Amino acid sequence: MRLHTVAPDDREKLDRVHRLLDRARAHDHPTAPARSPRELLSLAAAPGPNGETQFTALGDDPVAVAETLFFPGTNSHMAHLRIAVDPEQRHLGHGTALYRSAMKELAAEGRREVIAGVRLPSEAGTAFAEGRGFTVAVVNRARRCDAHGLTDGELREFENPAGSADYEIRAWTGPTPPHDLPLVAALDAAANALIPQGDLTFQAGEADAEALACEEEKLLSTGAGMVQALAVHRPTGEPAAWTRMDLPPDAAHAYQGMTLVAPGHRGHRLGLTVKAAALLRLRASANGVRWIWTSNAEENSPMAAINERLGYRPAGRTAMYRKVL
């Protein structure tokens, strides 16, 4: 069976990849968000918040697909590999064939650490990962929030914490305004060094406002959307907290991604503030989003508490496995 990398503009092939991934989702995790063909096209065409995605298919009408996320910059030693096999075609060696070829390619490219998520419980996924020398680095808890579960008034209360006079809260959809790009880039670059990540080795990056603007533009050109909120410390002009939500094209779901409060600004409920501000902004823009999904390390109790207050409820656990090449 032919193994091939799917070109980002090959709509027909990406549609077939989509059909297989959706069959696997419906079989393995029926409650997980159903991605549309346009979401896959967007992922293949532009870097998302975490890096670039490549799809590799086994078979012209694929029986198995590898979805590889290449982390950029200081994390280019790592990649995230997801393998999904047609539910009717499992335990026939397809997963192994795809895995071997993907790992060979990743090693040849100089990636030294591969991570893979297994949604729990999964006897096959766990046996597959552990049988190939992967070990659990961290367990993540997924949560789902009804975007309209709280009233505007309830959210506005979270948005106005005590002491907020020192902080200006800005929220927007679409591209980051030019004057805020350096502030967002600084927090975005620092984030990996400041979040609980178990035995994973994500590192802080270099702040690059220009690169961030280009990435946002490219992603938005695919029809995807973005909602962000930033807290700026008025006396110093420093960026104090930031959050980002990603909206795939035409989807009823959004992904709540990174939220970060800079260490010198913790203890003012700014995490809750920026998340509530972003949620209000998302609701104010006509985008049809009903559900918001997020995922955090189980040990990250401060973020879990914020999410619960905003109406996020547990929706599964994923073991993040890691293998050093």
Ligand X SMILES: CC(C)(COP(=O)(O)OP(=O)(O)OC[C@H]1O[C@@H](n2cnc3c(N)ncnc32)[C@H](O)[C@@H]1OP(=O)(O)O)[C@@H](O)C(=O)NCCC(=O)NCCS
Q: Tell me the three-class secondary structure of 50-75, residue by residue.
A: CCEEEEEEECCCCCEEEEEEECCHHH
- Least separation in angstroms between CB 69 and ligand X: 11
- Least separation in angstroms between CB 197 and ligand X: 18
Nearer to ligand X, 30 or 267 (CB): 30
- Least separation in angstroms between CB 168 and ligand X: 43
Nearer to ligand X, 123 or 206 (CB): 123
Nearer to ligand X, 94 or 268 (CB): 94
- Least separation in angstroms between CB 67 and ligand X: 9
Q: In angstroms, rounded to a whole number, what is the distance separating the alpha carbons of residues 85 and 162?
A: 51
- Least separation in angstroms between CB 94 and ligand X: 4
Nearer to ligand X, 130 or 250 (CB): 130
Nearer to ligand X, 251 or 319 (CB): 319
- Least separation in angstroms between CB 64 and ligand X: 6
Nearer to ligand X, 94 or 141 (CB): 94
Nearer to ligand X, 101 or 173 (CB): 101
- Least separation in angstroms between CB 203 and ligand X: 23
Contact residues toward ligand X (CB under 6 A) are 24, 28, 81-85, 90-96, 116, 118, 122-125, 127-129, 131
